[in-house]
Structure 1
Amino acid sequence: MDLFIVNHIWYFFIYAFLGWCAEVMFHTIITGKWVNRGFLNGPLCPIYGFGMMLILLALDPLKNNIVLLFVGAVLLTSGLEFLTGWVLKNLFHLTWWDYSKRPFNLGGYICLEFSLMWGVGGVIIVKLIQPLVQQFVQSIPYVVSLIFLAIFIIILLLDFMATVATLIGLEKDVRELEKVGLGIRNLSDSLSHELSDVARITDSKVESTRQELQDKLESLEKQSVLLKKHLFEKRFLGSHRLFNSLPKLYFTKHHEIIMQLKEEFNKILHDSNK
């Protein structure tokens, strides 16, 4: 494999890891709680890796011009952030971040404040950090690089597939919960109707109908409890991480029931920590 490609794959993984560290540190300080802000389960934020790859590849001719380097970093990182946010929202129906309440935002995907921060960060990394990273990468023997990068790529692909499977499974479970919840509401309405409509049917039939509806209602409620338990206890590479580590994660589909689940999950955590 070409040494240029090998080096840039290293840059991707290094900056994806450093970006993950920065995200975790920032949100841990803000929330007072350790938060895995990555899309993946592992310690990588690919958007940072791809962002720095873009900057290093596209802006290398401008690295000696601070102004052009800054403007280029703002445009490239903002474009990548917008595209990533749009894909997450439209493909996976979730919003990992939301700038809609910040001034000068575009669709909530990007905003001027953070775009300028990415620009400053890009300049600092290119001028101060990248020379050290480049020196480190170039010191790694070629064969050793190939071995480690092959391992990292395999782990990354497996993590990505596990994350996608988790999101698909979560949506499937949530759809089932919505269906059960609708059944519970319909049965509750029917039960109230049957009990109040004593003028049309006899008392014995009221009792018989009431018991039948009550049995169905209890069955659906048990099913709902089991589904929630299944969701909350899927700890390893499961939805538990999404509820626990991403308290502000916003799902555009099934939003109402997701918020209800997050509230119940947080209550369970609170009670267990007492």
Structure 2
Amino acid sequence: MYYINSFFLYSLLGFIIESTLFKNTILKPSGVLVGPITLVYGVGGLSLLLINKYILNKIHTNKIIKLIISFILYTIAFTLVEFTCGHLCHLIFGIDMWNYTSKKYNIGKYICLEYMPIWGLYGLTITYILKPFLDKIIKQIPREITYLFIILLSLDLIITILTK
């Protein structure tokens, strides 16, 4: 349940960040789905958790080296998530959630080199500042609420597919 709840929490946080900070709207859907979820952030959050568990937790070196390795891994992982989710949204829903072709250092529509360091910093911020707090919330979510989230996401996906 931890990973499912993490996916939902990171997706919700991404929705809040996208809709309020970057799109200058108050909780208006910013992603593909109708509901308050931005899937790319949920997938990114899961990739961060898996990197931490299966790679970074096994590295025993000084803190500076570990921070550098973390930054590089988060940068690569989040860039791959952005690339993959961008292509999947286009393929499945026929829409481009973001398009970096106007940026100088774009690679196709879905990746921009100038944003890559931001993804690394985002990963470090989540891991070392937000994650301890978020883990406390995630671990308190009752199983029934998780099932409700799964049902609501499934309905949202169905509605989105039928209306796009």
TM-score, normalization: structure 1? 0.53
The match for 2:56 is 62
The match for 1:156 is 153
RMSD: 1.6
For residues 30-61 of structure 1, what are the alpha-carbon distances to aligned partners after superposition, in whole Å with 9 as ceiling and x for unaligned? xxx44421211111111101111111112334
Spell out the pairing of 1:190-201 with structure 2 (5 A cutoff).
none
Q: Which residue of the other structure, out of 39, 56, 62, is the alignment partner of 1:46?
A: 39
Q: What amino acid maps onto 1:80 in structure 2?
A: V
CA contact (8 A) 2:31 2:97 kept: no
Alpha-carbon distance in structure 2 between the residues aligned to 1:15 and 1:53: 8
CA deviation after TM superposition for structure 1 residue 96, in Å: 1.2
For residues 43-96 of structure 1, what are the alpha-carbon distances to aligned partners after superposition, in whole Å with 9 as ceiling and x for unaligned? 111110111111111233426511111111111111111011112223332211
Spell out the pairing of 1:225-244 with structure 2 (5 A cutoff).
none
CA contact (8 A) 2:82 2:111 kept: yes
Structure 2 vs 1, CA of residues 95 and 137 (structure 1 numbering), >3 Å: closer, same or farther? closer
Matched, 1:166 2:160: no
Spell out the pairing of 1:252-263 with structure 2 (5 A cutoff).
none
Q: Number of residues paired by the alignment?
A: 155
The match for 1:16 is 11
CA contact (8 A) 1:78 1:110 kept: yes
Alpha-carbon distance in structure 2 between the residues aligned to 1:152 and 1:8: 13
Structure 1 outlier segments of 4+, above 6 Å: none
The match for 2:60 is none
Alpha-carbon distance in structure 1 between the residues aligned to 2:155 and 2:146: 14
TM-score, normalization: structure 2? 0.87
Gapped runs of 5+ residues in structure 1? 1-5, 168-274
Alpha-carbon distance in structure 1 between the residues aligned to 2:9 and 2:17: 12
The match for 2:75 is 74
Q: What amino acid maps onto 2:56 in structure 1?
A: L
Q: What amino acid maps onto 1:58 in structure 2?
A: I
Spell out the pairing of 1:12-161 with structure 2 (5 A cutoff).
12-29=7-24, 33-34=25-26, 35-60=28-53, 61-62=55-56, 65-138=66-139, 140=140, 145-161=142-158
Gapped runs of 5+ residues in structure 2? 58-62
Query: What is the identity percentage for the equivalent residue pairs of Structure 1 and Structure 2?
Result: 28
CA contact (8 A) 1:59 1:72 kept: no
For residues 239-259 of structure 1, what are the alpha-carbon distances to aligned partners after superposition, in whole Å with 9 as ceiling and x for unaligned? xxxxxxxxxxxxxxxxxxxxx
Structure 2 vs 1, CA of residues 79 and 28 (structure 1 numbering), >3 Å: closer, same or farther? closer
Alpha-carbon distance in structure 2 between the residues aligned to 1:91 and 1:157: 15
Alpha-carbon distance in structure 1 between the residues aligned to 2:70 and 2:83: 20
CA contact (8 A) 1:55 1:122 kept: yes
CA contact (8 A) 2:32 2:89 kept: no
If asked which structure has higher relative contact order (CA below 8 Å, sep 6+), I would say 2
